[in-house]
Amino acid sequence: MRHRLGIPVWTSAKCSGFPPFFLTIMSSFQPNNLFNVSGKVVLVTGGSRGIGKMIASGFIANGAKVYISARTAKACEETAKELNALGPGECVAIAADLSKLSEVERLVKEIAEKEKALHVLVNNAGAAWEESIDSFPDHAFTKVMTLNVQRVFNITQKCLPMLRAAAELGGKLGESYKDPARIINIGSVEGLSIQGTGHETYAYSASKAALHHLSRHLAARLGHEGITSNTIACGPFQSKMMAYTLETLGDAFVSSIPSKRIGTPEDIVGTTLFLSGRSGAWVTGATITLDGGQLFGPRL
């Protein structure tokens, strides 16, 4: 039985205990249904290392076909070879320097020639720069803002036809899309708060704050087309970007995090699968803080 708005009605005057409808849908509460991404087509930018590689690995481990991009062809191909050996999903490497608009267009064109639909777009590629406020160069600010914000918009824009096609494939229930296409933007806690007065990442923190708001704007605009947009504001994970901080501050840095550890692949993969499966189909415009409580811990 359904309410006139399409919402399931679980009660019935003709039965006692759990109604038949409830018993029928119990299987949909199982993890293999809530977080199922098997057969989905995914693009992870910056997918050859760090958080991007973790995310790509998680999708492939759960049966998705994942395209990864990175500036260096060798690194991209080596990661694809490694992940394909693990399976059961598939990894396809396409080297692309996303700081250039022409490369964004080429990357999307290559995927569109092979795929009719793109179910999940993970905007992970990014750049960081730390330097004293007195010497912070103009070209560095431009580089970081371009890659972390403008190119996210560019690649999302170019992928829209494939994202819309994925939403249509999932079918509709009334005016609502049953399995929306997903845009997942990898943000940072640096876009949510100032990480200490000596942390001089002016362009990076500004770019991530801008990315968080861009994601909300995309959610508002694309929701009625069956496309969600969410951000994961990441704290510290083992990556090239975090290597210097972890090396120089070490135990003191980890101890400042309320959870007393840095992020693991399971943390980012679990969050990404939640947003990509049935579990996250009604989540859009959200910024999920994934930092072990760092945002509320003491500043170093």
Could you list the active site residues?
204
Q: Which two tokens stand for residue 6?
A: 């399409």
Distance, in Å, from the CA atom of 94 to the CA atom of 186, rounded to the nearest integer, reads 20
Give me the amino acid identity at 69: S
Count of other CB atoms within 10 angstroms of residue 245 = 16
Query: Could you please report the per-residue DSSP string of 84-98?
Result: HHH-SSEEEEEE--T
- Distance between CA atoms of residues 164 and 42, nearest Å: 14
DSSP code of residue 30: S
Could you check whether the bond before residue 88 is cis, i.e. omega within 30 degrees of 0? Answer: yes
Strands 227-234 and 65-70: unpaired
Distances in whole angstroms, Cα of residue 229 to Cα of each of 53, 64, 137, 265: 21, 19, 32, 22
Angle ∠(143,48,88) on CA atoms, nearest 5: 150
DSSP string, 198-262: T---HHHHHHHHHHHHHHHHHHHHHGGGTEEEEEEEE--BSSHHHHHHHHHHHHHHHHTSTTSS-
**CB 236 within 8 Å of CB 300:** no
d(CA 58, CA 258): 26
CA separation for the pair 299, 190 (Å, rounded):
12
